[in-house]
Amino acid sequence: ALMGANMQRQAVPLLRTQAPLVGTGMEYKAACDSGVMVLAKHGGEVTDVTADAITVRSDEGAFDTYKLQKFIRSNQATCINQKPLVYAGDRVTEGQPIADGPSTDNGELALGYNIIVAYMPWEGYNYEDAILLSENLVKRDLYTSIHIEEYECDARDTKLGPEEITRDIPNVAEEALKDLDEDGIISIGADVRPGDILVGKVTPKGETELTAEERLLRAIFGEKAREVRDTSLRVPHGEAGKIIDVKIFTRENNDELPPGVNRLVRVYIAQKRKISVGDKMSGRHGNKGVVSRIMRQEDMPFLPDGTPVDIVLNPLGVPSRMNIGQVKEIHFSLAAKVLGFNVSSPVFDGAGDDDVFGTIRAAGLPSDGKTVLYDGRTGEPFENRVTVGCVYMLKLHHLVDDKIHARSTGPYSLVTQQPLGGKAQFGGQRFGEMEVWALEAYGAAYTLQEILTVKSDDVVGRVKAYESIVKGDNIPEPGVPESFKVLIKELQAIGLDIKVLNEDAKEIAIRDEEDEDINEKARSLDLDVEGVDENGAAPPPPADDYEENAEAEESADEDLIADLGTDEDLAADDMDAILHGGLDDIDNPHEDDL
């Protein structure tokens, strides 16, 4: 019951709704109390019905007008759409539903659809709770839903000047601007794909590198293109659809905006999603599964009268979970469909076995609820008779379109230099400790090395590998991953002197990227870096390596050693003491001398 309730909570509102053949009797009450339907406030006569509003003249003579919500986005990114249930001239009573909402059908809760289901294994495609689906369900749009995504773009005040929402975007082809209006905002009704511009926006760049003359020329000739950069709102990776609404908020209209924001644009993109392989479905008994294959209708198993089944479920999903209610439902629903009525079976006072078998007999169906099924591919009957009937199946919120993700190259973490994780960050797949063990067990050394270096945090190696692929060369040897450098730094931080040795016991110099950058920068500026050692440190210059300046004058007053108050030459030990131990080890000079 808990799993079944959870599944119903996750159901997606469908384009076409149908109330269940077998219910609990609470569907009407649940729908009325949900707040998604429009209920008549007073009894009276319906005078006018449109797609957007219903007008009722009450018995007291007053007119009640009910505005209907059309294609509004819910917090789950699904579609809220209300449809009239009444016609002009109809009589309504107080509290009567006059408009259906999402997931309701004639005032009853309708989360899914009644479809023909067979419980049998089929070529392994329903192994481990997988679901085999007929293409007929896709064609008839029985499990098609509308999803609406909201995207936001704001123009702020920056230190370099205000951002601007505009159609004039630098380095963008005219083809990319064809659906934008004169303000740079996408038009309602436009079809958009990943990467398309929704709101054109430019942000000022710093002008510190420009001279006064250049700034003057820019101001005269209006060459703004180089002073701004493109920060437009674009359709994210993996999203597409049709623009159904655009909302613009400005300070001029007295809209409430966050501090520093001058203009805010919200764009709504709607898309129809048909059921596809990878989507999650469920019955009302917690019998959930993932669509593994969508079969052609003519290849699905069919009944003796030629009716093909819509879904094939695995019978092994029933006994171990002990949710026998689904078996009662499949028999009861088929009998109710044949007899042409709906069944209410309350939770704690539902139909017993006698009621179920009595209804099956009244419908003229076999008492065990089984029938001969024929293979749609060969036309031959299956070896055993199969349980076939109607089941109320739901489409759940876990849709493959929201989860599917692939990455070639993308962003890296600043700290670890490893790829980010998750679809939202356009991240990579985590290859964890246990996955490493698996490759080690297989002896896949080169695959493992590649995954842990050039595909992860070998900063230099991954650039070189990409370059090699582009040029068609062999991929070079991987370098040292950043995580190893971090380990060395952490060990050095606790006071351990770490050296990395090769197989010949010779030390390997591991250079930081910063050192390489500094050296490279120095060389690019024609600075002398010949004396820099492998670790990036310059050796101290020799003592005699200086040039005498002819204009320099000798000055004993500024010479500390000359003022030490002794005429004798300093011994080597005294000089060493000065350089390393200070002046404490020799005769202290008088204050006046210093």
pLDDT for residue 492 is more than 60: yes
Same domain, 283 and 385: yes
Task: Provide the pLDDT confidence category of residue 552 given band limits of 50, 70 and 90.
Answer: very low
Same domain, 157 and 302: no
Same domain, 473 and 390: no
Q: Is residue 465 part of a domain?
A: yes
Q: Is residue 83 part of a domain?
A: no
Per the CB < 8 A criterion, the answer to whether 203 and 156 are in contact is no
Neighbour-count burial for 367-403, b at 16+ CB within 10 Å, e otherwise: eebbbebbebeeeeeeeeebbbbbbbbbbbbbbeeee
Same domain, 200 and 259: yes
Encode pLDDT of 392-419 as tens digits. Answer: 999 999 999 989 999 988 999 988 899 9
As a whole number, mean pLDDT of residues 75-92 equals 95
pLDDT for residue 583 is more than 90: no
pLDDT value at residue 518 = 54
pLDDT value at residue 258 = 92
The closest alpha carbon to 536, from 499, 510, 558, belongs to: 510
pLDDT for residue 68 is more than 90: yes
Domain that residue 268 falls in:
145-273
pLDDT value at residue 509 = 84
Task: Provide the pLDDT confidence category of residue 501 given band limits of 50, 70 and 90.
Answer: very high
The closest alpha carbon to 411, from 402, 403, 420, belongs to: 420
Task: Provide the pLDDT confidence category of residue 522 given band limits of 50, 70 and 90.
Answer: low
As a whole number, mean pLDDT of residues 314-335 equals 93
Q: Is residue 75 part of a domain?
A: no
- Strand order of the β-sheet with 38-39 is 38-39, 97-100, 83-84
Per the CB < 8 A criterion, the answer to whether 468 and 474 are in contact is yes
Same domain, 386 and 376: yes
Last residue of a domain, one of 224, 254, 273: 273
Encode pLDDT of 359-370 as tens digits. Answer: 999 999 998 989
pLDDT value at residue 562 = 42
Per the CB < 8 A criterion, the answer to whether 237 and 214 are in contact is no
Task: Provide the pLDDT confidence category of residue 528 given band limits of 50, 70 and 90.
Answer: low
Q: Is residue 483 part of a domain?
A: yes
Q: Is residue 525 part of a domain?
A: no
Q: How far is CA 584 from the centre of its chain?
A: 69
Same domain, 434 and 476: yes
pLDDT value at residue 517 = 60
- The SS3 of residue 507 is strand
As a whole number, mean pLDDT of residues 79-84 equals 96
The closest alpha carbon to 44, from 1, 9, 96, belongs to: 96
* All residues at 6 or more sequence positions from 329 whose CB lies less than 8 Å from its CB, including other chains: 22, 283, 284, 285, 389, 391, 392
Q: What percent of the chain has pLDDT over 90?
A: 70
- Per the prediction, the chain carries an average pLDDT of 86
pLDDT value at residue 214 = 66
Q: What percent of the chain has pLDDT over 70?
A: 84
pLDDT value at residue 222 = 65
pLDDT value at residue 171 = 85
Q: Is residue 168 part of a domain?
A: yes
Same domain, 291 and 379: yes
* All residues at 6 or more sequence positions from 344 whose CB lies less than 8 Å from its CB, including other chains: 23, 24, 25
Same domain, 437 and 365: no
Same domain, 472 and 328: no
Same domain, 173 and 287: no
Rounded to two decimals, what is the model's pTM? Answer: 0.77
pLDDT for residue 559 is more than 50: no
Per the CB < 8 A criterion, the answer to whether 564 and 589 are in contact is yes
Sign of the four-CA dihedral 579, 581, 582, 588? negative
Q: For residue 50, with 0-12 CB atoms within 10 Å meaning exposed, 13-18 middle and 19 or more buried, which class applies?
A: exposed
Number of domains into which the chain is organized: 4
pLDDT for residue 105 is more than 80: yes
Neighbours of 91 (CB within 10 A): 12
Last residue of a domain, one of 374, 395, 416: 395
β strands within 193-335, DSSP E:
197-199, 201-204, 228-230, 233-234, 241-250, 261-273, 280-282, 288-295, 311-313
pLDDT value at residue 524 = 62
C-alpha 198/C-alpha 187 separation (Å) is 9
Query: CATH number for the domain including 415?
Result: 3.90.1800.10
Query: CATH number for the domain including 331?
Result: 2.40.270.10
Q: Specify the DSSP element, H or E, that contains 357.
A: helix 353-362
- Structure tokens, 526: 């024609």
Last residue of a domain, one of 249, 273, 297: 273
pLDDT value at residue 87 = 96
Query: CATH number for the domain including 256?
Result: 2.40.50.150
pLDDT value at residue 193 = 95
Q: Which of 324-333, 454-463, 509-518 has the lowest mean pLDDT?
A: 509-518
pLDDT value at residue 558 = 44
Encode pLDDT of 337-352 as tens digits. Answer: 999 999 999 988 888 8
Same domain, 310 and 386: yes
Q: Specify the DSSP element, H or E, that contains 168.
A: none
Q: Is residue 537 part of a domain?
A: no
Neighbour-count burial for 560-571, b at 16+ CB within 10 Å, e otherwise: eeeebeeeeeee
pLDDT value at residue 567 = 46
Q: Is residue 526 part of a domain?
A: no
As a whole number, mean pLDDT of residues 542-566 equals 46
As a whole number, mean pLDDT of residues 268-285 equals 96
Same domain, 381 and 336: yes
Encode pLDDT of 164-220 as tens digits. Answer: 999 999 889 999 999 999 999 999 999 999 999 999 999 988 755 566 776 777 777
C-alpha 168/C-alpha 180 separation (Å) is 11
C-alpha 567/C-alpha 438 separation (Å) is 79
